[in-house]
Amino acid sequence: MQRQKRVLAVHDISGVGKCSLTVALPIISAAGAECAALPTAVLSTHTGGFTGFTCRDLTEDIAPITAHWKSLGIRFDAIYTGYLGSFDQIDLVAGLFDALAAPDTLIAVDPVMADDGRLYAAFGPDFPSAMKKLCARAGLIMPNITEAVLMLGEEYRPGPYTEDYINGLLARLEATFPARQIVLTGVSFNDTRLGAAARDTKAATTDFIFGPKIEGYYHGTGDVFGSALVGALTAGQSLAAACRAAVDFTVASIRTTFDAKTEPRYGVNFEANLPQYMKALGRL
């Protein structure tokens, strides 16, 4: 048995709604890695589609937790960050990268802040420039198209897109960020298929990975995709294979939820599809 990999997930924990840590922990565990967790806030639910949610901010705990782990000399194979609630949290997470990332640690940043052309309600117009700085520290970034154009200072256009437009966007991301791996989500060239574009900047390869598009807006699917991607990469899959596993798992989870007619704000039934994901990783 090889040494078990250790991934650090830095996200809030939204108790109900299946996103952030409640998704990252089981999916990264299913990929075979230890999923260490730094909760940045505790919410009763996520902020999309619920009113009256509670939120206890844990910003003050980030630096002491980081310092404790540093004193223990803990090694992380990957550090995966998602939803961050404030500029302070972004700065503290940048400090955490400095303190805890070894030269071979994969820093994976999902710049969660917007979708469908709009910033999430919690964020002001200056937030993308702060996220851009955090993405500049990552080896892997995974923006959706809205997040990508916000960080590049470009106009948002709704899909479907042309391959030229997506290749152009990837080229501008590559010129802006030093990340070795750029995964752009929410890519579609027609009305029936949706997926991701994966750019390996060192190998100079681009892969398009699509699955069937399913009607509706399902909450937390970005975190399901991101967790599955980080899990698959940590398990040793190539970028294209990891994206394939993550797209297939996310689409299957949406399909299961659609078929059950569950309210989309409660998130997708990824649990039913964990065996499929483990099979894709050769773990079942």
Q: Which residues bind ligand PXL (CB under 6 A)?
A: 12, 14, 19-20, 43, 46-48, 83, 112, 120, 220, 222-223
Contacts of residue 150, Cβ cutoff 8 Å, sequence gap at least 6: 113, 114, 119, 128, 156
Backbone angles phi, psi at 52, to 5 degrees: 75, 15
Q: Which of 27, 23, 2, 17 is nearest to 245 (CA)?
A: 27
Q: How far is the CB of 194 from ligand PXL (least distance, A)?
A: 17
Q: Which is nearer to ligand PXL, 46 or 132 (CB)?
A: 46
Q: Which is nearer to ligand PXL, 48 or 264 (CB)?
A: 48
Backbone angles phi, psi at 266, to 5 degrees: -85, 5
Q: How far is the CB of 120 from ligand PXL (least distance, A)?
A: 5
Q: Which is nearer to ligand PXL, 220 or 231 (CB)?
A: 220
For Cα atoms 169, 172, 173, give the angle at the middle one, nearest 5 degrees. Answer: 85
Q: Which is nearer to ligand PXL, 56 or 283 (CB)?
A: 56
C-beta neighbour count of 99 within 10 angstroms: 12
Q: What are the CA-CA distances from residue 137 to residues 81, 93, 132, 169, 174 (Å)?
A: 12, 10, 9, 19, 13
Q: Which is nearer to ligand PXL, 69 or 218 (CB)?
A: 218
Per the CB < 8 A criterion, the answer to whether 247 and 196 are in contact is yes
- In terms of DSSP bridges, do strands 106-109 and 78-81 run parallel, antiparallel, or are they unpaired? parallel
Q: Which is nearer to ligand PXL, 14 or 206 (CB)?
A: 14
Q: How far is the CB of 165 from ligand PXL (least distance, A)?
A: 26
